[in-house]
Structure 1
Amino acid sequence: MSMTLTAAPAPSRARTVSAWSLQILLALVFLVAGGAKLAGVPMMVQVYDLIGVGQWFRIVTGLVEVGGAVALLIPGYAGLAALWLAGTMVGAVIAHLVVLPTPAAPAVVLLVLTATLAWLRRDQTLSLLGRRR
């Protein structure tokens, strides 16, 4: 039995433009949010005091967000970065629902947007993992 690998069809222009637009938007959002955490903006310090795990977690979260934002802009890594940030947003949604007195809506919106980008860039992620569609 012979197996022939064929290249997946190239994504449509609309899908590519949509993905890049979403990547740029999310990169800006996560750079600002992660930067605020790393800079120790008083509101972020208060939020992490309420969460109760310590300020070290604010720094780690800021590094995760800034690193994810940068990776969103590196061709070929956007899908993986979107998965990384979606996982971070799952944690944020849980924190808002369980601990924080503020609405979870912004975190939910970011979760939906990062998950959408992960889906749009799924071929890239599969390629990085050594799997072809």
Structure 2
Amino acid sequence: MRTHVRTAALWAAQAILAVQLAPAGILKVTSDPAMVELFTTIGAGQWLRYTVGTLEIAAAIGLLVPRLCGPAALGVAALMTGATLTNIFLIAAPPWLPLGLLMVGALVAWARRTEIKAFPLGAVSPDGKQL
């Protein structure tokens, strides 16, 4: 696949993830009644709702920042792993949405693995060289 097509596809996937995560995170941190009820059902406390919402908003922003997109995608994969397991084992809800977001997040994280490895040190070019 040509580099510019691959890059455009990655940015499109990242934008789709951001569009899914930002509103969900905002609903959680603004105490939407449905989110309060959901996290009451989970039984972990409302602190988890605030934590997950904040992480979703941070991930949505990070996915749109070139230097942060790789680590943000890795964070999305971790969050959606938890969401998938929660849907299956705690609330008996269909896991398809978090599972789909998990797969897209994991794919983006894999494609951005060079950026993830270099994250604390600085930006890298698409060919993996330190900038």
Please indicate the TM-score interval, normalised by the length of the shorter structure. Answer: 0.7 to 0.9
Cα distance in 1 between the residues matched to 2:98 and 2:91: 12
C-alpha deviations, 1:64-106, integer Å up to 9, x for none? 0001111111112101000011101111111111101211111
Residue 23 in structure 1 maps to residue 14 in structure 2: yes
Residue 94 in structure 1 maps to residue 85 in structure 2: yes
Identity between Structure 1 and Structure 2 (%): 33
Q: Which residue of 1 aligns with 2:52?
A: 61
Which residue type is aligned with residue 21 of structure 1? A
Greater RCO (CA < 8 Å, at least 6 residues apart): 1
Conservation of the 8 A alpha-carbon contact between 1:15 and 1:120: no
1:1-133 to 2 correspondences below 5 Å: 12-129=3-120
Secondary structure class of the residue paired with 1:102: coil
Question: What RMSD, in angstroms, separates the aligned Cα atoms of the two structures?
Answer: 1.7
Higher alpha-carbon Rg: 1
Moved runs in structure 1, 4+ residues, more than 2 A?
Answer: 129-133
Q: TM-score, normalised by structure 1?
A: 0.86
Please report how far the alpha carbon of residue 127 of structure 1 lies from its aligned counterpart in structure 2 after TM superposition: 2.1
Unaligned stretches of 5+ residues in structure 1: 1-10
